[in-house]
């Protein structure tokens, strides 16, 4: 299949104001999506006299103008845009499938810095735009590109606040009757992102006592020293507040990481383990398997194996996790980074839903989070991100390939070495894990140094 040139592993991303997220090309993306939806109205799109598209935003200063420029492009193709305002990505996926929206667009670059932004596309089913749809939209963009460079004036959007309320109602409906959160005290790090608009209110509505952190977005402080990328503050605050739990979201709240009452960090691997064990005990874990990625810690695989469960690994990216879940019939999957998919409830990763699941398990078992993950013995794992000036195939980098091969041979079956390029940033990502932390760090540094010599930015 032809490879896309604009869509990455999670939509279209870039620096706001620069190609492909300059005003002209954002307008073209809107038109290209509009043409795709008009053509596919009897297929992927929802039936309606005039296709409607739902648009949500995170809190970056560029999100609104990108949303309104997209809306103008859609309007040129007679597609109506409806604004949900600031809302988590998962809210757009939910509302797209629950209403007569032909598609849902989320304006966000997730965990990236505020200067970046992106466009995530969901079809009416609530799933992300499939590969063949991405290719068709790209073909439309490149066909339109030689035309006039004057983008239409942005179309002013008026937020419909009832949409976010409906998403909140959906989340509340997933909490079984009789579940009492009133004894829970939680610290919530909203990353100055989309969770700021909903998370504290949601958890208070369900009865929990809430201490909200980083819930005052100013357009530029999203993910800045907070959220799921920087959990040190949360980990310190939870024991200081004598809280039972801490949760950290990323910019668009589709991932969640947790801090225990003692301040220990529980990542996506920990959530997969505790959720799998609980679902197994209740007879709800389909196929006795869990879907993770190549980044899942070896300790998770061993812990699941001790329960008679199997871990199936995929490439990094929640889209690949979901594809495998649909293929295998699994109903639990996710990433170490905190994207967790409970497919019995939703079509995509949802940090708020994940937090509610963890809270429910704590309440129903009467166990603190530390205890729920105590049987998960994590192997030392080192992650290194190396900025690169280009993404040359690793097999064409002899020194890098040799360093990776040497580490793999050294560890054998007692360790893992995973090296890949980021799907959204100019980075080489290096992961090494094994029982000995000093050896892990040494091998990760050796591979990182080889990358820096070969492709250092």
Topology annotation, domain 267-372: Alpha-D-Glucose-1,6-Bisphosphate; Chain A, domain 3 (3.40.120)
pLDDT digits (tens, 9 = 90+) for 321-335: 999 999 999 999 999
Rounded CA separation 388/392 (Å):
9
CA dihedral (19, 96, 272, 325) positive or negative: negative
Rounded CA separation 360/366 (Å):
10
Three-state SS for 212-276 is: EECCCCCCCCCCCCCHHHCCHHHHHHHHHCCCCEEEEECCCCCCEEEECCCCCEECHHHHHHHHH
Rounded CA separation 108/56 (Å):
9
Q: Delimit the domains of the chain by residue range.
A: 7-165, 181-263, 267-372, 381-455
Catalytic residue annotation: 110
The CATH superfamily holding the domain 181-263 is: Alpha-D-Glucose-1,6-Bisphosphate, subunit A, domain 3 (3.40.120.10)
- Given the candidates 3.30.565.10, 1.10.8.60, 3.40.50.720, 3.30.310.50, the CATH classification of the domain at 381-455 is 3.30.310.50
In this prediction the pTM is 0.88
- Given the candidates 2.60.120.200, 3.20.130.10, 3.40.120.10, 1.50.10.10, the CATH classification of the domain at 7-165 is 3.40.120.10
Q: How far is CA 258 from the centre of its chain?
A: 15
Spell out the per-residue pLDDT of the chain, length 457, in tens.
Answer: 344 589 987 899 999 999 999 999 999 999 999 999 998 874 444 445 679 999 999 999 999 999 999 999 999 999 999 999 999 999 999 999 999 899 999 999 999 999 999 999 999 999 999 999 999 999 999 999 887 766 677 789 999 999 999 999 999 999 999 899 999 999 999 999 999 999 999 999 999 999 999 999 999 999 999 999 999 999 999 999 999 999 999 999 999 999 999 999 999 999 999 999 999 999 999 999 999 998 899 899 989 999 999 999 999 889 899 999 999 999 999 999 999 999 999 999 999 999 999 999 999 999 999 999 999 998 998 999 999 999 999 999 999 999 999 999 999 988 899 999 987 788 999 999 998 999 999 999 999 999 999 998 6
Domains 7-165 and 267-372 share a fold: yes
Angle between helices 437-455 and 398-411 (to 10 degrees): 170
CA distances from 145 to 14, 26, 29 (A): 18, 11, 10
pLDDT digits (tens, 9 = 90+) for 369-401: 999 999 999 899 899 999 999 999 999 999 999
């Amino acid at each position: 299949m032809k490879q896309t040139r604009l869509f990455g592993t999670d939509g279209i991303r870039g620096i706001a104001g620069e190609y492909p997220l300059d005003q002209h090309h954002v307008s073209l993306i809107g038109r290209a999506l509009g043409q795709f939806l008009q053509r596919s109205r009897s297929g992927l799109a929802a039936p309606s006299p005039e296709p409607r598209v739902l648009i949500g935003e995170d809190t970056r200063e560029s999100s609104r103008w990108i949303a309104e420029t997209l809306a103008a492009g859609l309007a040129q193709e007679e597609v109506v845009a409806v604004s949900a305002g600031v809302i988590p990505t998962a809210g757009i996926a939910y509302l797209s499938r629950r209403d007569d929206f032909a598609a849902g667009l989320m304006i966000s670059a997730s965990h990236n810095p505020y200067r970046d932004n992106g466009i995530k596309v969901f079809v009416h089913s609530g799933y992300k735009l499939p590969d063949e749809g991405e290719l068709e939209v790209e073909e439309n963009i490149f066909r339109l590109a030689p035309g006039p460079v004057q983008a239409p004036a942005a179309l002013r959007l008026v937020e419909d606040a009832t949409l976010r309320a409906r998403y909140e109602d959906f989340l509340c409906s997933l909490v079984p009757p009789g579940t009492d959160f009133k004894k829970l005290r939680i610290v919530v790090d909203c990353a100055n992102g989309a969770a700021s608009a909903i998370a504290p209110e949601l958890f208070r509505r369900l009865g929990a006592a809430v201490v909200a952190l980083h819930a005052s977005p100013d357009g530029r402080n999203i993910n800045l020293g907070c959220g799921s990328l920087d959990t040190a503050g949360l980990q310190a605050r939870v024991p200081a507040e004598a809280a039972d739990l801490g949760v950290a979201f990323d910019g668009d709240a589709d991932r969640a990481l947790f801090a225990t009452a003692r301040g220990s960090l529980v990542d996506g691997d920990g959530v997969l383990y505790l959720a799998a064990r609980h679902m197994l005990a209740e007879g709800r874990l389909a196929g006795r398997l869990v879907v993770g990625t190549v980044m899942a810690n070896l300790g998770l695989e061993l812990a699941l194996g001790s329960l008679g469960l199997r871990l199936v690994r995929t490439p990094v990216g929640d889209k690949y996790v979901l594809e495998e879940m649909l293929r295998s019939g699994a109903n639990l999957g996710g990433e170490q980074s905190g994207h967790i998919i409970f497919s019995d409830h939703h079509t995509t990763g949802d940090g708020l839903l994940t937090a509610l699941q963890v809270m429910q398990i704590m309440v129903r078992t009467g166990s603190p989070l530390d205890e729920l993950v105590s049987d998960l013995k994590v192997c030392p794992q080192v992650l290194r991100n190396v900025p690169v000036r280009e993404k040359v195939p690793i097999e064409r980098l002899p020194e890098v390939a040799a360093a990776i091969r040497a580490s793999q041979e050294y560890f054998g079956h007692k360790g893992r070495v995973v090296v890949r390029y980021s799907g959204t940033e100019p980075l080489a990502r290096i992961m090494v894990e094994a029982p000995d932390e000093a050896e892990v760090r040494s091998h990760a540094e050796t591979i990182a140094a080889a990358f820096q010599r070969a492709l250092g930015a």
